[in-house]
Structure 1
Amino acid sequence: MPNCTEKTQTSKIEFGRLGRRVVEGRFDGGSMTSDAGVMLLGATDRRLGLINAAARCIADPRDPLLIKHTVVDMLRQRVYGLALGWEELNDHGSLRQDVAMQTAVGVDADIASAPTLCRLEKWTNRSTAWRLHQVLVEQFIASFKAAPEELVLDFDATDNPLYGQQEGRFFHGYYDSYCYLPLYVFCGQQLLCAYLRPSRIDGARHAAAILKLLVTRLRQHWPQVRIVFRGDSGFCRQRTINYCERAGVNYIIGLARNARLQGITEFMELAMKEAFEHTGVKQREIGEFMYAAQSWAKERRVITRLEYGEQGNNPRYVVTNLTGAPQALYDDLYCQRGEAENRIKEAQVGLFATRTSCQQFQSNQLRMLLAALGYVLIERLRALALKGTKLATAQVDTLRIKLLKLAAVITRNTRRICLYLASNWPSADIFAHAMRQLRSP
């Protein structure tokens, strides 16, 4: 008796009628794909050498004489699948026979099954994660043709909800759930760090150490580069500030509200309240003063943004060692850190970095880094191939729908693999342009 999958693939599906004609379908079209856009991902990957570099970070414990699917092929399969929207390992039970996926991966036969990919996740350890993060940083450095004058490093922590009994699982009061507490570091739209942490820690844990490692490597390559550390009040820690000042790193960090800070701005807030009550117009002021918390050895510059409106008083405080007008520093620099939250959403939602359902903590770290590699592919695809097109700033969900999800009939013989792409596809010109850009010297 055929199983459910076999029955679905061979049985007729009725769609109704169009005039006198019956409309029906079957899952027996042969070598067809809905993911011909995977060829763009493959071209981007080979242009960067990204997955080849990542594969060298994973120690393969198998007997070399018995290997059928190499680590680099499995990583390509897994990362391309995430970028295409196939987040479940079980999806590869069918995808392994997709000729477009096989071609992009670089093989001429069935690629790895779901159980084989699952075993790959068990080969990882802390040193694997360290080496994969080095790949992210080296890829970032290689993306510049000339030395940058300034790099702004955005540090941000977020939650990664858990629903099983994963190793390192703890309840977090702020997020009101069991979760991990990953730390991300972005520079603009580029990802430098995707570090998985248990949630039973301070949100700034390891941030100073990671900053030191990044600054050291970036200055090895660009000795004169100006580096700015940017983060919210969760990263305002004495250790981080002290390191920045010793290492000549600029910083602009949120400062949590407290009674002393409010006492300094109290009279201004009262004046703004009176002005709002008199005019009905929301009041906003940006100023600065020198301030030292009890744990600080000296006073530091604090920029304050005060607002008073229908919701009442809404102060914000930022500590910095940067020079310049306070309004420009707050509005044009500090507030731009919110863009990192969009990038985190793209990695976690669009590329499934939250799919940390493995029992072992380090396996979940690998899953997060696979999503990070997928993010790098998408970001570099935008930068290298889509510049000047209407998809140049599109997020991964939009790119997936408008560029990667492409129907094709595929023929493969001894001389040629041919993809017969959809004739009336709206993104055909952009797709062709992108491939030309990726294949140009």
Structure 2
Amino acid sequence: MVTTKQSRRKGGEGQLERLAIAFDDERAVANAGLVLASTLAERLGVEAIVDETVDLGGRAGAARPGRKLLTLVGSALIGGDSIDDANVLRCGETERVLCHRVMAPSTLGTFLRCFSFGHVRQLDRALETIIGRAWAAGAGPGRQPLTIDLDSTVVEVAGHGKQGASFGYTKRRGYHPLLATRADTGEVLHARMRKGSASSQRGAERFVRELVARVRRLNAADTLSVRADSGFWSNATIAALERHGVRYSIGVTQQAHVREAIGAIPEAHWQPLADYPPQGVAEIAEGTLRGRRLIVRRTRLVGAQAELFPDWRHHPFVTDRQEPLAEVELDHRRHAQIELAIRDLKEGSGLNHAPSGHFSANAAWLLVSCLAHNLLRWLARLGLELHGPIVAQTIRRRYLTLPGRITRSGRRRTLHLPARWPWRERFGHALAQLRAIPLLA
């Protein structure tokens, strides 16, 4: 005998089985929230900047680089991580919520493959101009001190025939780009693609010089600080920072002379670190390393685990900052938040892999991902008025990938969004805020 509860359950299953499906709505919009990102891109004049800066000559795919770049950026914003994913922007009337014409994936692939090293540098210069306009619109640091985090990451690939892709220190095949992010927002200020076998220090000095010059051109604050791990530790990099008047805190590898400097710190100088988990103990102290201020944090386990690992583990870095020991050490530890920006670049802006077999095409793809990543952060700051680090997946789920439908009445188009959407008020407020930005094109 079937109970009433079982009958309801079976009835529910039958309802879904009787649900017909038809892909025939020409007015549907797959990712209606892209109207926010497109409004911001339009206000910043992204398409015009790219058209004016990137000159691909007479190569196939060279025409109208701005709209092709924006098609790739729009695809990345909604989770696309391959060139073919841009097809989502062509379904229904999704193109109506964009500020540009959507290009076909075959055209986009041709566009990326026609890039050379020089063209990638042109696109990098366009990214700088776009950052400057976003900062002028209110997303910049103003005259506040600016802290920048440096790091590298591995962009994994599956194919063995991709130019420049190889195995590095992680034993994973891919590329090994350098990244510089703004500490308080996570936006990417500079990026440079490198082959997979490149060490962390390869090209670091030039990268730092280009970064500092860019930030100075953007009229950032006079007080500029850089944080990095031991992969960026070299005399050349530190000398470049000192020449440009940039404060720094950079991790150091524990070579013999570093271990000697740590051993020379008197035991009485070590002071406990208060904000450390109870499973261990941590202490900090400072000394000197070849005339520079050396700060060291040492940690070890307590309890039963201490029998397995009884020794202190040291984490040193050098700095030219003059603030109190505990303050500088705490700030240097915050360098780890760059991993959140890298996570969002990969999970939120399409950098989890490189789609092309051409090195320069993948270098351009890196900058596409950086622009998508930055647009999301500027959208959060200028439209949603969120301050501090954000999570790309959260912004995408709440404000970008909601469905919609466009209707026409006379000469007016209306984008209909789901009733009772939990974040509808903030969505409407963000759109109004972005439309209030003066056109900078």
TM range (shorter): 0.7 to 0.9
Over 3 Å counting, the alpha-carbon distance change for 1:60 and 1:267 in structure 2 is: closer
Matching residue of 2:249? 252
125-134 or 50-59: which moved more?
50-59
Among 367, 379, 382, the residue aligned to 1:384: 382
Partner SS state of residue 308, structure 1 = strand
How far apart are residue 74 of structure 1 and its match? 2.0
Matching residue of 1:415? 411
Q: Distance in 2 between matches of 1:83 and 1:224?
A: 30
Partner SS state of residue 315, structure 1 = strand
Verify: 1:374 aligned to 2:372, yes or no: yes
How far apart are residue 167 of structure 1 and its match? 0.6
How far apart are residue 257 of structure 1 and its match? 1.7
Verify: 1:161 aligned to 2:156, yes or no: yes
Among 55, 71, 75, the residue aligned to 1:77: 71
Matching residue of 1:405? 401
Matching residue's letter, 1:199: G
Matching residue of 2:329? 330
How far apart are residue 62 of structure 1 and its match? 5.6
236-245 or 309-318: which moved more?
309-318
Task: Give a deviation string over 1:265-287, Cα, whole Å, max 9, x none.
Answer: 448798999x9xxxx98332211
The RMSD of aligned alpha carbons is 3.0
How far apart are residue 114 of structure 1 and its match? 1.5
Over 3 Å counting, the alpha-carbon distance change for 1:283 and 1:408 in structure 2 is: closer
Over 3 Å counting, the alpha-carbon distance change for 1:224 and 1:283 in structure 2 is: closer
Q: Distance in 2 between matches of 1:220 and 1:103?
A: 34
Identical counterparts, % of pairs = 23
Among 73, 81, 86, the residue aligned to 1:87: 81
Q: Distance in 1 between matches of 2:105 and 2:192?
A: 25
Among 298, 301, 309, the residue aligned to 1:306: 298
Verify: 1:178 aligned to 2:170, yes or no: no
**Contact 2:229–2:250 (8 Å) recurs in 1:** yes
Partner SS state of residue 53, structure 2 = coil
Verify: 1:440 aligned to 2:428, yes or no: no
Matching residue of 1:212? 209
Q: Distance in 1 between matches of 2:252 and 2:167?
A: 26
Q: Distance in 2 between matches of 1:53 and 1:322?
A: 38
**Contact 2:163–2:358 (8 Å) recurs in 1:** yes
> Which consecutive unaligned segments of at least 5 residues does structure 2 have?
1-11, 273-277
Matching residue's letter, 2:436: S
Q: Distance in 2 between matches of 1:325 and 1:93?
A: 55
Matching residue's letter, 1:418: T
**Contact 1:50–1:139 (8 Å) recurs in 2:** yes
246-255 or 412-421: which moved more?
412-421
How far apart are residue 52 of structure 1 and its match? 2.8
Q: Distance in 1 between matches of 2:155 and 2:389?
A: 26
Matching residue's letter, 1:106: H
How far apart are residue 92 of structure 1 and its match? 3.4
Partner SS state of residue 18, structure 2 = strand
> Which consecutive unaligned segments of at least 5 residues does structure 1 have?
1-14, 293-298
Matching residue of 1:131? 122
Matching residue's letter, 2:130: Q
Count of residues in Structure 1 that have an aligned counterpart in Structure 2: 406
How far apart are residue 220 of structure 1 and its match? 4.5
431-440 or 193-202: which moved more?
193-202
Q: Distance in 2 between matches of 1:353 and 1:388?
A: 24
How far apart are residue 290 of structure 1 and its match? 1.2
Task: Give a deviation string over 1:402-426, Cα, whole Å, max 9, x none.
Answer: 1111111223577232212111221
Matching residue of 2:28? 32
Task: Give a deviation string over 1:122-168, Cα, whole Å, max 9, x none.
Answer: 22121222122223333334415674242222110111112211111
Q: Flag the structure with more relative contact order, 1 or 2, with Cα contacts below 8 A and sequence separation at least 6.
A: 2
Over 3 Å counting, the alpha-carbon distance change for 1:224 and 1:181 in structure 2 is: closer
